[in-house]
């Protein structure tokens, strides 16, 4: 009897070790980045941009597992994206949609209410296709005034709370305001800043996988 119990314990231990050695299954997903020049790689080589760096890191961690589609366009506004998104969703059928928009709207002084409405539409359109949404927040420079700054930033919080989507408070965290990380226009991040943008964003996207 003791010998049998001993064998059973050994067998259970072997099964546990074998099970632990099996990697956790991660279902393949398509991740679509909907952004403006910050995600389109304006002013730098495409392979230097944070989205390309994201593809590389994802391939290293999950070889041949996921697909990344970058539909970002320099100069894009939330209004433009609202018009484009239905076709993009139908074409690429993403499981995850990362929305990095609003900066151009703010720089053009668009009413915060319009920006909020458009962001909400982008989220709703994505959620109707059962896609998970990640919202990358932005901030306006101080010269736009405190009232506009606060109203602009609150848009992301309001939409995130209302539609229960993940929000990264500030996409340009640790980049904006650092001249050595910006291009000459002091608006677009340079190549040195791209790994920082990736590190800012990656935990949010990885969490959705």
Q: Which residues are catalytic?
A: 37, 185, 188
How far is residue 128's CA from residue 64's CA, in Å, rounded to a whole number? 27
pLDDT over threshold 50, residue 45:
yes
pLDDT at 4 over 80: no
Cα atoms in the Cβ-side hemisphere of radius 13 Å centred on 21 = 6
In which residue are the tokens 């920006």 written?
115
* pLDDT(12) > 90: no
Is the alpha carbon torsion for 150, 155, 160, 161 positive or negative? positive
Q: Report the C-alpha gap between 141 and 107 in whole angstroms.
A: 9
pLDDT of residue 15: 47
Residue with tokens 């002091």: 186
Taking the domains of the chain in order of start, what are their residue ranges? 27-208
Cross-strand bridge partners of residue 3: none
Prediction pTM value = 0.86
Does the pLDDT value for residue 81 go beyond 60?
A: yes
Q: Using the structure block, give the residue that is written with the tokens 């230097």.
A: 48
What confidence tier does 27 reach under pLDDT thresholds 50, 70, 90?
Answer: confident
- Token representation of residue 201: 């964003």
Q: Which two tokens stand for residue 126?
A: 């994505």
When pLDDT is cut at 50, 70 and 90, the band that residue 7 belongs to is low
Report whether pLDDT(186) > 50.
yes
Categorize the per-residue pLDDT at 3 as very low, low, confident or very high, splitting at 50, 70 and 90.
Answer: low
Fold of 27-208: Rossmann fold (3.40.50)
Mean pLDDT taken over the chain: 91
Q: What is the helix (H) or strand (E) element at residue 114, kind and residue range?
A: helix 112-128
């Amino acid at each position: 009897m003791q010998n049998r119990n001993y064998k059973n314990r050994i067998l259970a231990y072997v099964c546990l070790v074998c099970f632990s050695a099996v990697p956790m299954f991660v279902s393949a997903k398509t991740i679509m980045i909907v952004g403006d020049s910050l995600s389109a790689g304006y002013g730098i080589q495409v392979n230097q941009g944070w989205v390309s760096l994201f593809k590389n890191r994802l391939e290293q961690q999950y070889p041949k597992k996921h697909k990344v589609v970058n539909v970002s366009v320099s100069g894009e506004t939330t209004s433009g994206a609202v018009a484009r998104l239905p076709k993009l969703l139908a074409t690429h059928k993403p499981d995850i949609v990362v929305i990095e928009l609003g900066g151009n709207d703010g720089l053009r002084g668009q009413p915060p209410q319009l920006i909020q409405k458009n962001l909400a539409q982008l989220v709703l359109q994505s959620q109707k296709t059962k896609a998970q949404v990640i919202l990358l927040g932005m901030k306006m420079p101080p010269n736009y005034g405190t009232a506009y700054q606060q109203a602009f930033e609150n848009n992301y919080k309001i939409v995130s709370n209302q539609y229960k989507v993940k929000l990264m408070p500030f996409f340009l965290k640790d980049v904006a305001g650092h001249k050595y990380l910006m291009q000459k226009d002091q608006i677009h991040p340079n190549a040195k800043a791209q790994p920082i943008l990736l590190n800012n964003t990656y935990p949010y996207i990885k969490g959705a996988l």
